[in-house]
């Protein structure tokens, strides 16, 4: 279960430095997360993706925030309170600061990345907490590639890609930084498919994803993502299979869209 939220985000994590034409401050997407329990898909958590404008002394940034929380009736079983956020250039979605603050069933971890893109370097802070509440920090300098991003900024970057130019079967590798390690995600375009959602019937781009050198996502074409085939490219439906089971995410609402 601990990898539940990462599996969702990994399913929609791509790298792209194209100009941002789809994401604006004030957008809010809400999802229901379901997990297969005793053979039945059960709604256990809510996932939100929100954007907002943040002004600093030097510039104006776009805050990309993802949260996940189990519904109260499941808190005694496995309580999740997760926050992932990235502060990016509004025009390119290039990240400057990333934070991950997770609490899952008694497991706690905080990660922070400060980017130096010219030096291709990330200053990383990892903070963990034991059962007694004692915390300890680990600081590292991590070398990264020119196109490496964090989970959240890559999550939003996919929506600026020219997916309409792809042909079924086309695939590409992309790089994310997770737990101080660069990870390769392979994305394959399957084609278009129209599906029914809480926000209406939507023609979508259907993608399959896998992670190189990891068994986090299991099977071929078992981890699927549907993005609306319009100028907003909203992720509306996700199916995933991980070592401890399988599940789905379905969109509930979408407000504040740019287009």
Domains contained in the chain, number = 1
Structural domain of 96: 4-255
Q: What is the pLDDT along the chain (259 residues), one digit of tens a residue?
A: 444 455 555 554 434 446 899 999 999 999 999 998 778 899 999 999 999 999 998 899 999 999 999 999 999 999 999 999 999 999 999 999 999 999 998 889 999 999 999 999 999 999 988 877 788 899 999 999 999 999 899 889 888 888 999 999 998 777 899 999 998 888 889 999 999 999 999 999 999 888 776 555 655 667 899 999 999 999 999 998 876 678 999 999 999 999 9
Q: What tens digit of pLDDT does each residue of 83-99 get?
A: 999 999 999 999 999 99
Contact 103, 75 (CB under 8 A): no
Q: At 58, which CATH number?
A: 2.40.360
* Prediction pTM value: 0.88
- Separation between Cα atoms, residue 166 and residue 150, nearest integer Å: 24
């Amino acid at each position: 279960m601990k990898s539940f939220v990462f599996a969702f985000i990994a399913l929609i994590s791509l790298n792209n430095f194209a100009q941002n034409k789809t994401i604006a401050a004030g957008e809010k997407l809400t999802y229901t997360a379901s997990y297969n329990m005793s053979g039945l898909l059960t709604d256990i958590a809510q996932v939100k993706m929100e954007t907002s404008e943040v002004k600093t002394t030097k510039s104006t940034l776009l805050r990309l925030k993802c949260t996940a929380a189990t519904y109260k009736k499941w808190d005694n079983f496995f309580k999740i309170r997760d926050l992932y956020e990235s502060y990016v250039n509004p025009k390119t979605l290039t990240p400057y600061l990333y934070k991950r603050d997770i609490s899952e069933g008694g497991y706690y971890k905080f990660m922070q990345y400060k980017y130096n893109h010219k030096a291709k370097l990330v200053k990383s802070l990892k903070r963990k907490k034991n059962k007694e509440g004692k915390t300890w920090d680990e600081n590292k300098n991590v070398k990264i590639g020119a196109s490496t991003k964090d989970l959240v900024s890559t999550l939003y970057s996919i929506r600026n890609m020219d997916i309409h130019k792809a042909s079924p079967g086309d695939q590409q590798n992309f790089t994310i930084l997770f737990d101080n390690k660069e990870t390769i995600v392979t994305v394959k375009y399957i084609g278009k498919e129209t599906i029914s959602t809480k926000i209406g019937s939507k023609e979508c781009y259907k993608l399959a994803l896998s992670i190189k050198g990891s068994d986090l996502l299991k099977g071929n074409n078992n981890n699927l993502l549907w993005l609306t085939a319009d100028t907003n490219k909203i992720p509306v439906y996700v199916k995933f299979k991980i070592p401890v089971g399988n599940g789905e995410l379905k969109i509930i609402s979408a407000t504040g869209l740019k287009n």
